[in-house]
């Protein structure tokens, strides 16, 4: 069953229930001002701080956008891009594209103009919907993309080279277009993180989108009454696919436009959120703010909050120990996934396995997993190898890249993730590191994640990243980039003493005190760090250049 049918079902069963809530905490001082509602919803007074749409409105918005696209010649199989910040219109636009039978192509809001151009050409996009934050970048490239025939703009002040989405949509029917969609039809192209070179275009069928719904709901038992707090970017497969579990049963999503710890806790309290999906840095920031007295939990009602889960990167066990001390009644879970496996859930810890914190878990609902040697034969028990997954959520291919597809996807449907992992005696899988991030120093394989977990146990450390730097004698040496908590102090000598509990070959050869950069999905940007702290740059830094 295509995922678009779930939206229609929710609109039929719960037409007047709120489906999506948007919170803009930076406008709290104007929460009593009136605002102009989206043109496709009946205009009414409201609060700029908070906007909502019902399931019926959500469905009608999607249908109107679908019909607008059809008037512009978009047909089944065409590619339509979304380039918008998180907002109330994002998900209705996503489903509107799917309802035409076209393939939706969400784009990273951090892309440069050249990256946007590359992604539009790579995916053969013929239409794009973009927001006001991207006028400058789109203006740089639109004349160089004649194949993109329709440029739609959502917001005030429509540029001359685009058409106003808000105006055109009012003339479109709110009835669903009569287009048959099957599970085997192409549904979405998601782009890989692209931390080195240009990103790959990951093509998914409709069956993969639907499986994301089923997997998430099976893992976390969402009901109609659950309220999901969505903070990460919607262009990514992460948080959106977690909300799909609530979407499957008509549960509400709250889109929070901001990541300050006070905003997260306040929104969870005011909106009675029951499920909150966090990235590691945000969870750390919340705990730091509570410990520093910036957040007093007595000021908030968090009684509905039942589940905190984290993904997108290895989760430090020390962080979860801290969290459970502050929030002892919370269920905790983590999921492993990647865009090639339609996001989270192909490996799943489970709330009942808190005793295995540090593991990413076992095969998720409807998934198979294995750990293999370089020749793709199974590893011996307890040995490190590459993690492979198989299931209905595996990508169809890297779009227009047969060679790259063949490297990671075999004829039997196994996807080789590039992540190094090992299983314990109970079958729980522990993520060791990215294959490309493994450091080989003096013939020893060193897995940075293990050292990073150790460093984060130091109470003065907020975040840590370990990378390999070239060395004539050893091949590579380990360098630790350490971000110290605000208000704390830590010297190189103190940290060196702290690392004496590590095996000698794992101890960092270099310690660099600096911020740890992470991308919007929470992953450490290690290619950037390796570039920043190459030998030449380190010499320049040491010389004060």
**Among residues 122, 119, 390, 15, which one has the least CA distance to residue 130?**
119
What distance in Å separates the CA atoms of residue 390 and residue 381, rounded to the nearest whole number? 20
pLDDT confidence of 13, banded at 50, 70, 90? Answer: very high
Domain 438-542 homologous superfamily, CATH:
ANL, C-terminal domain (3.30.300.30)
pLDDT for residue 312 is more than 70? no
DSSP letters of 197-220?
SSPPEEEEEHHHHHHHHHHHHHHH
Per-residue model confidence as pLDDT tens digits over 116-150: 999 999 999 999 999 999 999 999 999 999 999 99
CATH 3.30.300.30 residue window(s) in the chain: 438-542
CB 59 within 8 A of CB 7: yes
Mark 274-283 as b/e (b = at least 16 C-beta within 10 Å): bbbbbbbbbb
- The model's pTM is 0.82
Question: What is the signed CA dihedral for 486, 490, 495, 501, rounded to 10 degrees?
Answer: -70
The residue with greater pLDDT, 126 or 449, is 126
pLDDT for residue 38 is more than 80? no
What distance in Å separates the CA atoms of residue 365 and residue 345, rounded to the nearest whole number? 8
Query: What per-residue confidence (pLDDT) applies to 103?
Result: 98
pLDDT for residue 498 is more than 80? yes
Question: What is the signed CA dihedral for 43, 107, 417, 358, rounded to 10 degrees?
Answer: -50
Q: Which single residue is written with the structure tokens 């992953």?
A: 523
| Structure-token pair, residue 149 | 């025939």
For residue 59, what is the enclosing H or E element?
helix 55-71
What distance in Å separates the CA atoms of residue 465 and residue 473, rounded to the nearest whole number? 23
Backbone torsions φ then ψ of 36, nearest 5 degrees: -85, 115
Q: Which CATH class is domain 4-220?
A: alpha beta
Per-residue model confidence as pLDDT tens digits over 18-36: 999 999 887 765 443 333 3
Say which residues have a Cβ less than 8 Å from residue 395's Cβ, sequence separation at least 6: 202, 203, 204, 208, 339, 340, 341, 342, 409, 415
Per-residue model confidence as pLDDT tens digits over 185-230: 999 999 986 444 578 999 999 999 999 999 999 999 999 999 999 9
Query: What per-residue confidence (pLDDT) applies to 164?
Result: 95
Measured CA distances, 266 to 260, 269, 273 (Å): 10, 5, 10
What distance in Å separates the CA atoms of residue 420 and residue 433, rounded to the nearest whole number? 5
Q: Which single residue is written with the structure tokens 């009136």?
A: 34
What distance in Å separates the CA atoms of residue 317 and residue 525, rounded to the nearest whole number? 21
CATH 3.40.50.12780 residue window(s) in the chain: 4-220
| Percent of the chain predicted with pLDDT > 90 | 70
What distance in Å separates the CA atoms of residue 313 and residue 522, rounded to the nearest whole number? 7
**Among residues 460, 456, 481, which one has the least CA distance to residue 531?**
481
């Amino acid at each position: 069953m295509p995922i678009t049918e779930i939206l229609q079902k929710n609109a039929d069963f719960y037409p007047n229930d709120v489906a999506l809530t948007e919170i803009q905490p930076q406008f709290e001082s104007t929460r009593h001002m009136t605002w102009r509602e989206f043109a496709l919803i009946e205009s009414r007074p409201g609060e700029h701080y908070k906007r909502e749409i019902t399931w019926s409105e959500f469905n009608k918005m999607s249908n109107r956008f679908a019909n607008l696209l059809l008037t512009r010649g978009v047909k089944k199989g065409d590619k339509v891009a979304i380039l918008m910040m998180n907002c109330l219109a994002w998900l209705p636009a996503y489903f509107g594209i799917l309802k035409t039978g076209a393939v939706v192509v969400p784009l990273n809001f951090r892309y440069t103009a050249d990256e946007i151009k590359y992604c539009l050409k790579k995916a053969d996009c013929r239409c794009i919907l973009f927001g006001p934050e991207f006028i400058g970048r789109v203006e740089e490239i639109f004349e160089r993309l004649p194949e993109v025939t329709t440029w739609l703009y959502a917001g005030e002040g429509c540029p001359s080279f685009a058409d106003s989405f808000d105006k055109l949509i009012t003339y479109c029917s709110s009835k669903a277009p009569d287009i048959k969609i099957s599970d085997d039809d192409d549904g979405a192209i998601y782009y890989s993180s692209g931390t080195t070179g240009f990103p790959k275009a990951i093509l998914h069928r409709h069956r993969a989108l639907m499986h994301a719904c089923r997997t998430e709901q099976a893992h976390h038992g969402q009901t109609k009454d659950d309220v999901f707090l969505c903070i990460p970017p919607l262009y990514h497969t992460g948080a959106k696919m977690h909300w799909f579990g609530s979407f499957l049963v008509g549960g509400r999503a709250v889109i929070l436009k901001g990541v300050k710890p006070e905003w997260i806790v306040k929104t969870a309290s005011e909106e009675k959120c029951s499920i909150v999906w966090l990235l590691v840095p945000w969870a750390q920031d919340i705990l730091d703010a509570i410990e520093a007295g910036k957040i007093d939990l007595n000021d908030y009602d968090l009684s509905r909050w039942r589940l905190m889960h984290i993904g997108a990167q290895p989760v430090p066990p020390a962080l979860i120990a801290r969290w459970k001390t502050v929030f002892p009644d919370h269920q905790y879970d983590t999921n492993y996934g990647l865009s090639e496996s339609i996001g989270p859930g192909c490996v799943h810890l489970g709330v009942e396995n808190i005793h295995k914190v540090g593991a990413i878990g076992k095969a998720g609902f409807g998934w198979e997993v294995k750990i293999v040697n370089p020749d793709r034969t199974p590893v011996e028990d307890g040995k490190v190898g590459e993690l492979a997954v198989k299931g209905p959520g595996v990508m169809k291919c890297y779009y227009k890249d047969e060679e790259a597809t063949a490297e990671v996807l075999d004829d039997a449907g196994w996807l080789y993730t590039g992540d190094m992992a090992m299983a314990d005696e109970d079958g729980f899988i522990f993520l060791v590191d990215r294959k490309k991030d493994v450091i080989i120093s003096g013939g020893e394989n060193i897995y940075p994640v293990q050292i990073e977990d150790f460093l984060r146990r130091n109470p003065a450390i907020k975040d840590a990243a370990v990378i390999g730097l070239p060395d004539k004698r050893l091949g590579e040496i380990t360098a630790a980039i350490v971000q110290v908590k605000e208000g704390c102090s830590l010297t190189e000598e103190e940290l060196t003493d702290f690392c004496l509990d590590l095996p000698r070959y794992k101890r960092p050869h270099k310690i660099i005190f600096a911020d740890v950069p992470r991308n919007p999905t929470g992953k450490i940007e290690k290619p950037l760090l390796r570039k920043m702290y190459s030998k030449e740059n380190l010499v320049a830094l040491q010389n004060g250049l």
